[in-house]
Homo-oligomer: A and B are copies of this chain.
Amino acid sequence: MSRWEPDARGRLEAAALDLYGEHGYDNTTVAEIAERAGLTERTYFRHFADKREVLFAGAGDLQDQLVTGVLDAPESAPPIDAVALALQAAAPRFDQRSVQVAQRHAVISVNPELQERELIKLAWLAAALADALRRRGVREPAASLAAEAGIAVFKIAFERWLTERSRRGLAACIRDCFGELKLVTAGG
């Protein structure tokens, strides 16, 4: 049964995003996703554990990239800059897939259960960033504050990037937002 299935994973993802957008996440079945992709359900489950995982499968890679980015930042970089550099380095993965990223965001934003999952993903990312900062020797609460502030910046930069899509890359939005954060927190 192992016929060659070129880019099965990508085709399944594209089919899922299309169907979630057309009929809603709750109204779409794995069987329909597989059919749309011209593949079998069995192939779907070789790539994704369930219907939801197709939306969150990239979280692990993103976390690894952010942690590596923090650890690889110049030794002299203050914690908030190490976080900013890591987030900017991860930005191209969003730019390169901006259509799918926007589709995914649209699906999640109308589904409370998926929004919860997204919040948890962001909380994990913040915890991973804080842990990477502590491995750089940053103390608490500075490590957690820089990590949580960084994720807050990312959320807001990401939303701005989505609304002004194609005008400029996500890295530029992130950089601007860190600049705004500095202004905001210097405020009083």
User: Taking the full assembly, how many copies of this chain does it contain?
Assistant: 2
Given contacts A119-B116, A152-B152, contact A180 B145 (CB under 8 A): yes
Q: Is A187 interfacial (CB 8 A cutoff)?
A: yes
Residue ID in chain B nearest A116 by CB atoms: B116
Contact pattern, A 107-151, Cβ under 8 Å of B = 1, otherwise 0:
000000001100110010000000000000000011011101101
Q: Of B77, B79, B144, B156, which one neighbours A148 at CB under 8 angstroms?
A: B156
Interface of chain A, main secondary structure: helix
How many whole Å from A165's CB to the nearest CB in chain B?
A: 16
| Chain B residues positioned under 8 Å from A183 (CB to CB) | 142
The verdict on A188 contacting B155 (CB below 8 Å), with A145-B181, A160-B141, A181-B145 known, is no
Assess the A145–B184 pair: CB atoms within 8 A: yes
A93 within 8 Å of B (CB atoms): no
Q: How large is the interface on A (under 10, 10 to 19, 20 to 34, 35 or more residues)?
A: 35 or more
User: B149–A185 contact, CB under 8 A?
Assistant: yes
Task: Determine the chain B residues whose CB is within 8 A of the CB of A81 once the complex forms.
Answer: 187-188
Determine the chain B residues whose CB is within 8 A of the CB of A149 once the complex forms: 148-149, 152, 181, 184-185
A121: shortest Cβ distance to chain B, in Å? Answer: 10
Given A116-B116, A187-B81, residue A145 in contact with residue B152 (CB < 8 A): yes
Give the distance to chain B from A141, nearest Cβ to Cβ, in Å: 5
Please state if A184 and B142 are interface contacts (CB–CB under 8 Å). yes
Report if A146-B116 is in contact (Cβ < 8 Å); known contacts: A141-B156, A141-B177, A160-B141.
no
Q: How far is the CB of A83 from chain B (nearest CB, A)?
A: 10
